[in-house]
Amino acid sequence: MSALAQTFEAAGLATVGISSVRGQVERARPPRMLHCEFPLGRPLGRPHDPVFQHRVLAAAFELLPRTDVPVLVDFEETIIDAADEPLACTLPPRYDPTLHPAVDEALGLRPAYERHRAATGTTNVLRLGGPDRIADLVGVFVRIVDGTPWDEVGLEPAQIGQAALDIRAYYEEAALALVNHVPAARQAESWFYRVTVTGELLCTAQRVLRDADAPRQAWFPVVPTGQQPS
């Protein structure tokens, strides 16, 4: 974004942006930037609070007339969020003990996932065939952990990473239907990786993929940097 801002400014267009990571904009030195010390993923601050969000936008637009660039201004309010604390979310009971626990867990979350999709009209489970493929994709990671070589599971390296992203989105959307409040940033993500069987499976699978020298696109998206096991 900083590079684009420099390009637009060179063409005579004033720009302004919102920063979530102060160190990055300090190094990039874009012309005008409002730094907001908010949880990552929430650049306008509080969800479902349009008054607060408009305050953030107004503070950013106030920088447009500035010519003493580069300008980096801190927004007046900081939001401390329980971003890394796992969501308190009860999983449905298992119902088919003949299945691998991760596959069974994923299938049990389907009603919650469908409630969320019906309520919002949207989903991020879009990369490899939608929610009907989630159980099969979980099965791919079961096979990887059980010793099947990564290049024999029926997916290209990039598709293995995409499978993990679909599974994660499916779980996070199901979790939102199981709680009655808007969770803090990344709480659903932390719940997935730290509480669920499938999240633990993906953590193990990433380690197996890296140890097997799988391509980066296969293992890197499987577990976010902030969720790496200690």
What pTM was estimated for this model as a whole?
0.68
Residue 161: per-residue pLDDT: 97
Residue 230: per-residue pLDDT: 57
Question: Is the alpha carbon torsion for 155, 131, 136, 142 positive or negative?
Answer: positive
Residue 180: per-residue pLDDT: 66
Residue 8: per-residue pLDDT: 87
Residue 23: per-residue pLDDT: 84
Residue 62: per-residue pLDDT: 96
Residue 84: per-residue pLDDT: 57
From residue 37, how far is each of 19, 74, 84, 146, 184 by CA, in Å?
A: 8, 8, 16, 43, 15
From residue 214, how far is each of 87, 152, 217, 219 by CA, in Å?
A: 32, 12, 8, 7
Instruction: With a cut of 50, list the residues of the chain below it in pLDDT.
Output: none
Residue 187: per-residue pLDDT: 83
Residue 183: per-residue pLDDT: 67
Residue 17: its H or E element: strand 17-19
Residue 86: per-residue pLDDT: 61
Q: Answer yes or no: are the C-beta atoms of 32 and 64 closer than 8 Å.
A: yes
